[in-house]
Amino acid sequence: MRLITVFLLGIVFLSLVSATIPTDCESSIVAYWRFENNFQDSVGTYDGIVIGTVEWDSVEMVGSSFKYIDGTQKVTVSDSSPLDLNNVFTIEMFIQETNSENSILINKGNYNLKSIRDDDDYFSLESAVYDSYNKQWVNITSGTLDIDTKYHLALTWNGTTLQFFINGVSQGMAPLLDTSGTSFDLVFGEGFYGLIDEIAFYNKALPVNTIKSHYSKALSGKDYCESGASGFSSTSSEFQIRGCSVKDHAGNYLFGVPQDSCSKDGKYYCDSSEKLYYTLADVNGCSLGGNCCPSGFKCNASNICEARTVDCTTYIAKGDINTANTCLGEKCFWIEKDGSGFCTEKPSDFSCGYYEDISSCTEDLWNLGQEGTGTEVCGTYIIDSTEDKGYVIRQSNCKCSWIVNKCLLSYTVEEELFGLGETQNKFTCNKYYNVSSCMEGRQHINWTSGVSAGQGDNFGSDTTLRQKIANATSCSSGELDRSCGDAVVKVPLFGLYQFIAASLIISLFYWLRRLQ
Amino acid sequence: MKQDYSEVEDIVVRYGVIVLGCLFGMTYLERILSFSTITVLTGVLTYFYGDVAVFGRYVLVDGQIFEIARECVVGMVYGVLFVLVFSTAKVSLVRRLAALMITWVLTFALNLARMCLLVFVVKTSYFHEMHGLFQYILAPVWLFWIWIMTARLLEIQAVPVYSDAKYLWDLIGKSSRHRRQKVNAHFVPMQKIVILAWLGNNTG
């Protein structure tokens, strides 16, 4: 009985502990002070102690942030060897300075981050780490920064190079060969005026994509561990899509949108800083020049997506972009085959499988190899963080190919960077889509995928790695029911028929009552 | 007779309100309904989905755009209920307003529940069947149920339109009988006079 009690208590304890640990954090995270009205380390045991007035701000940063109001406050964390960062590391934090004064944002003796006053309205940041091999400090200084503006800072060391980022943009790098530990306590915000939030330490030099991802998340009010709709997001715990990613309400990855591009469904636009916008609420998508709008909408003269009043299929003339009431003039797609053609809202309702002979497949008049079903993955980039390698699917490598009497969508997944003398890892994914016709706004599609090794494929016998990357690049079989045609769903209820029916029912009711 | 005239006045006023309401009120009603439906629907969906974006009459939920058009806020149901409430005789103003309030609130709540349910199932294969079920089967039954429930709750006995029509029919019938009697009452003495005069002439 006692054993059972201990066991149950253990389970309760473990569940309580696991509830306090964020579930989607980087595995390399060592400490994370979120400043959510406390100074606790939310992943480790390195809790801070405040000296001076405690005041919080819940507006500017992520959740709440610690407010340094008089330059005398500071947060101290007791010395501990993991905080010495004498191996590869990353430090991240958010700040917003309100008074430009010389101050120290982070200090551990062997490394620090300082704010340097330029004048009343401007300041710069300096990161410094002591190189114990060369017996000298290694410094990197930022450009001029504005007060009352929030900045995301990240300092990384990969064992050879120190690099300093502000808002995901590198401020410079410097060689750093070795670091050493100190017995000093870790201090945050000595002499500082403003807000400090989301300080995190990692025992790994985070890739720039991850740093940008954390910056984007924090901008949208999410902490570094939270999965979000904008910025980078993992397709699995090991892969990331460069650009923006769209997720469903359960947080499952749906598809990626490359930088400065429109999503294939036209609902989203990803800008150069990997921020995701809804095209219905933003002019950036339409300003790309195409028709970056959801199905059923078109870009108007003011670069705003407006609802179509006429369905694309009603246009019988191809026309050109300057002629109104023609297919191209109304920003629809003209699809031709055997001399005749028709106008359609979006080519993604069709796939390469629509071509029935080798010549039409390879010619791809309708551009289905780049615009059709399944091409969402084209132009995206993934990082295998276990191998620290990037793989790219270039837009130009997506095409329709005639293989074994069928027209397939094929694209090449290739390693982006590889060393001198190394063979580039790459493979080709071939996907056959069977797309049913669009019935009442719904369409069933299923697809089968196959991987064929590229010439000089360096994966060799490592089919596991190749399959893993294939899965991450959507090179797998599956099926789904999806919206097609008019993407906007209306749910009307009451019309003339319902009015007549309701009147009859009510009349019948009163008539029967009268009979009784 | 005085009471009859006050009932006629009541009918004129009630049907006047119906005509004016239908002519001028529906546009404003639909605007208010659109705004309130989108606002409340967005709030409810945000609770379930977290991220819901609204652009005018378009609501983007879980990657799917819904248009909250005029047909979706079912302004016609509110209109029909308004007509039913005001075309029912022998109901005090307070009970009439209470009936209007109850039927409209019920309609709003049920329509909201319907829209939420359809949003939840939009990506499933049975979305169209469910939408059809609501539109063609449940919608007329729904209006009937709301009206009958409200009539029972507020003990409204009169039949909409029919009670007024019957009353007016009876009134017209009663009035024409009365006029005939009146004409007859005037006609008899004259007849007598004429007969007497004729008899007098012949006898005299």
pLDDT at B100: 94
Label residue A47 by pLDDT band (50, 70, 90).
Answer: confident
pLDDT at A13: 42
Name the token pair of A304. Answer: 């705003």
Q: How many residues are given for chain A?
A: 516
The ipTM of this complex is 0.80
Label residue A22 by pLDDT band (50, 70, 90).
Answer: very low
Least confident of A181-190, A481-490, B185-194: B185-194
Label residue B196 by pLDDT band (50, 70, 90).
Answer: low
> What's the one-letter identity of residue A205?
A
pLDDT at A434: 83
Separation of first and last alpha carbons in chain B:
48
> What's the one-letter identity of residue B58?
Y
**Scanning the structure block, which residue is given the tokens 């106008």?**
A343
Is the CB of residue A248 less than 8 Å away from at least one CB of chain B?
Answer: yes
Contact criterion met (CB below 8 Å) for B102 and B153: yes
Residues of A in contact with B160 (CB under 8 A): 506
Instruction: Tell me the Ramachandran region of residue B90: left when phi exceeds 0, alpha when psi lies from -120 to 50, beta otherwise.
Output: left
Name the token pair of B115. Answer: 């829209």
Task: Quote the CA–CA distance of B143 and B77 in Å, as a whole number.
Answer: 7
Average pLDDT on A151-158 reads 88
Contact criterion met (CB below 8 Å) for A384 and A391: yes
Is the CB of residue A488 less than 8 Å away from at least one CB of chain B?
Answer: yes
Task: Quote the CA–CA distance of A108 and A182 in Å, as a whole number.
Answer: 7
Mean pLDDT comparison of A206-215, A424-433, B36-45, highest-scoring range: B36-45
Contact criterion met (CB below 8 Å) for A350 and A327: no
Residues of B in contact with A229 (CB under 8 A): 51
Is the CB of residue A506 less than 8 Å away from at least one CB of chain B?
Answer: yes
- Alpha helices (H) in B50-161, listed in sequence order: 75-86, 93-121, 127-132, 139-153
pLDDT in tens, A78-130: 888 888 877 788 999 999 888 878 888 998 888 888 888 888 888 889 888 88
Is the CB of residue A300 less than 8 Å away from at least one CB of chain B?
Answer: no
**Scanning the structure block, which residue is given the tokens 């007791």?**
A78
Q: Is there a contact between B139 and A502 if contact means CB atoms under 8 Å apart?
A: yes
Mutate to test the interface with B, among A491, A510, A511 (most CBs of B within 10 A): A491
Q: Is there a contact between A493 and B123 if contact means CB atoms under 8 Å apart?
A: no
Average pLDDT on A141-156 reads 88
Residue A456 pLDDT > 60, yes or no?
no
Q: What is the gyration radius of the CA atoms in chain B, in angstroms?
A: 28
Inter-chain contacts counted by CB atoms under 8 A, chains A and B: 112
pLDDT at A420: 57
Task: Quote the CA–CA distance of B39 and A23 in Å, as a whole number.
Answer: 33
Residues of B in contact with A281 (CB under 8 A): 53, 55
A423 or A334, higher pLDDT: A334
pLDDT in tens, A337-381: 666 777 887 777 788 888 888 888 888 877 788 878 888 788 777
Least confident of B18-27, B45-54, B98-107, B144-153: B45-54
Q: Is there a contact between A494 and B77 if contact means CB atoms under 8 Å apart?
A: yes
Q: What is the DSSP letter of A425?
A: P
Is the CB of residue A304 less than 8 Å away from at least one CB of chain B?
Answer: no
Strands B64-67 and A488-490 come out as: parallel
Contact criterion met (CB below 8 Å) for A240 and A380: no
Name the token pair of A423. Answer: 């063979």
Which residues does B77 contact at the CB level (< 8 Å), separation at least 6? A493, A494, B107, B111, B139, B142, B143
Residue A450 pLDDT > 60, yes or no?
yes
How distant is the Cα of B140 from the closest Cα of chain A, in angstroms? Answer: 4
How distant is the Cα of A224 from the closest Cα of chain B, in angstroms? Answer: 18
pLDDT in tens, A273-304: 778 888 887 777 787 777 788 878 888 888 88
Within 10 angstroms of residue A149's Cβ, the number of other Cβ atoms is 11
Mutate to test the interface with A, among B111, B115, B143, B156 (most CBs of A within 10 A): B143
